[in-house]
Amino acid sequence: MANRPLKLGYKASAEQFGPRQLLDFTVEAEDLGFDSVWISDHFQPWRHTNGHAPSALVWLGAAGERTKRIELGTSVLTPTFRYPPAVIAQAFGTLGVLYPGRIILGVGSGESLNEIAVTGAEWPPAKERLARLREAVDLIQKLWKDELVNYEGQYYKTHNATIYDRPDKPVPIYIGAGGPVAAKFAGRAGDGFICTSGKGDTLYRDQLLPAVEEGARAAGKDPESLDRMIEVKVSFDTDRNKALSDTRIWAALSLSAEDKVNIHNAREMEQKAEAVADQAYKRWLVSNDPEEHIEQIRPYIELGFNNLVFHAPGDDQSRFLKLYAKEILPRLRSRWG
């Protein structure tokens, strides 16, 4: 983990809970000692039944007012299809002024489920999605740095654009990546890198993290300056059977990327996920024993991830937050903090 400080965050699951509940969980997470809260930004959830999809932009403003200390970020938002990048630059410039030093823009190349419903456009291949993300990040950074931006990209253009309200220090941009090409871009253009757990150590050790370092060096940056963030899917409870059964609500995580890319509505996603619900637990660190759970988390820290954001699947998030703050966070900080 080198010189990067250990950060322990909470994932506010906007697919599972409404905006008011998420705010209450966020306040509780701050009170209990979590370092950050990250919200997903979906137009449609992966599950139709009891699903939610509050606007992250609106929610972050409310969360900033309800909290005092914690960092707040998106994991992740797509600034390339339903949002023009200049609008995201304006929104996060405003958030950065309101809550200086506490806002992070986490971005990714998007999912068809969220973008097609709004745009009606055909979903482009991965190469184009990443090209759009590269251009969008470049434009956002220019809008935060320059006074007047005339941008002529392949996908995005601005004419005499100025962001009038922006913090003195630009909001950090973290870039989500599931493969080495996007990870290299994260290292080159981002202030941090985001990925998710449960995909096998080889992917992180041999592909993603080396690509992040390669990208950072190519841009003349110290690789150690980049935050390495991972969303860790954890189902921890004193009742092991409950911890196992809680994961079923996130059955869609068991679907392959190829399966998900052609699903364009929450009902269809839920239907396909039900067929693999019995396999859902495999993507989660399931435990009822604190020391066993620390050992489940340990490989991610030893790989070099310093920013761990914990995503719990259960309906009783308050119970999870209290239990984790009592049994897990102190152990992690004592050992690696």
Residue 84: inside a domain: yes
pLDDT computed for residue 2 by the predictor = 56
Question: What is the C-alpha separation between 257 and 111, in angstroms, rounded?
Answer: 10
Q: Which domain holds residue 211?
A: 7-336
pLDDT computed for residue 91 by the predictor = 98
Question: What is the C-alpha separation between 304 and 5, in angstroms, rounded?
Answer: 11
In the chain, how many domains are there? 1
pLDDT computed for residue 256 by the predictor = 77
Residue 7: C-alpha distances to residues 35, 65, 75, 329 (Å): 6, 22, 15, 10
Name 30's Cβ contacts closer than 8 Å, sequence gap at least 6.
37, 67, 68, 69, 70
Name 119's Cβ contacts closer than 8 Å, sequence gap at least 6.
81, 82
Catalytic residues, by residue number, are 42, 111
Burial pattern 41-72, b for ≥16 Cβ within 10 A else e, equals: bbbbbbbeeebbbbebbebbbebbeebeebbb
Would you state the torsion angle of the CA atoms of residues 219, 221, 222, 227, taken in this order, to the nearest 10 degrees?
A: -90
Question: What is the C-alpha separation between 286 and 234, in angstroms, rounded?
Answer: 6
Q: Which residues pair with 287 in a beta bridge?
A: 236
Exposed, middle or buried by CB within 10 Å (0-12, 13-18, 19+), for 152? exposed
Question: What is the C-alpha separation between 48 and 171, in angstroms, rounded?
Answer: 33
Q: Reply yes or no: is the peptide bond before residue 171 cis, omega within 30 of 0.
A: no
pLDDT computed for residue 324 by the predictor = 98
Residue 164: inside a domain: yes
Name 187's Cβ contacts closer than 8 Å, sequence gap at least 6.
193, 211, 212, 213, 214, 215, 216, 217, 218, 219, 221, 223, 226
Instruction: Tell me the per-residue pLDDT of 192-235, one tens digit each, with 9 for 90 and over.
Output: 999 999 999 999 999 999 999 999 999 999 999 999 999 999 99
- Record the tokens describing residue 89, joined without a space: 């630059």
Q: Measured at the alpha carbon of residue 197, what is the angle toward residues 189 and 2, in degrees to the nearest 5?
A: 60
Name which of 287, 311, 170 is nearest 229 in CA terms. 311
Residue 96: inside a domain: yes
CATH number at residue 215: 3.20.20.30
- Report the first-to-last Cα separation within the chain, whole angstroms: 10
pLDDT computed for residue 1 by the predictor = 52
Residue 2: inside a domain: no
Instruction: Tell me the per-residue pLDDT of 105-159, one tens digit each, with 9 for 90 and over.
Output: 999 999 999 999 999 989 999 999 999 999 999 999 999 999 999 999 999 999 9
- Contact status, residue 103 vs residue 60, Cβ threshold 8 Å: yes
Residue type, 255: L
Question: What is the C-alpha separation between 77 and 295, in angstroms, rounded?
Answer: 31
Residue 20: inside a domain: yes
Residue 125: inside a domain: yes
Question: What is the C-alpha separation between 28 and 193, in angstroms, rounded?
Answer: 26
Residue 180: inside a domain: yes
Residue 200: inside a domain: yes
Question: What is the C-alpha separation between 284 and 250, in angstroms, rounded?
Answer: 10
Per-residue pLDDT of the chain (337 residues), as tens digits, is 556 899 999 999 999 999 999 999 999 999 999 999 999 999 999 889 999 999 999 999 999 999 999 999 999 999 999 999 999 999 999 999 999 999 999 999 999 999 999 999 899 999 999 999 999 999 999 999 999 999 999 999 999 999 999 999 999 999 999 999 999 999 999 999 999 999 999 999 999 999 999 999 999 999 999 999 999 999 999 999 999 999 999 988 888 777 777 788 899 899 888 888 888 899 999 999 999 999 999 999 999 999 999 999 999 999 999 999 999 999 999 999 8
Torsion sign over Cα 197, 201, 206, 209: positive
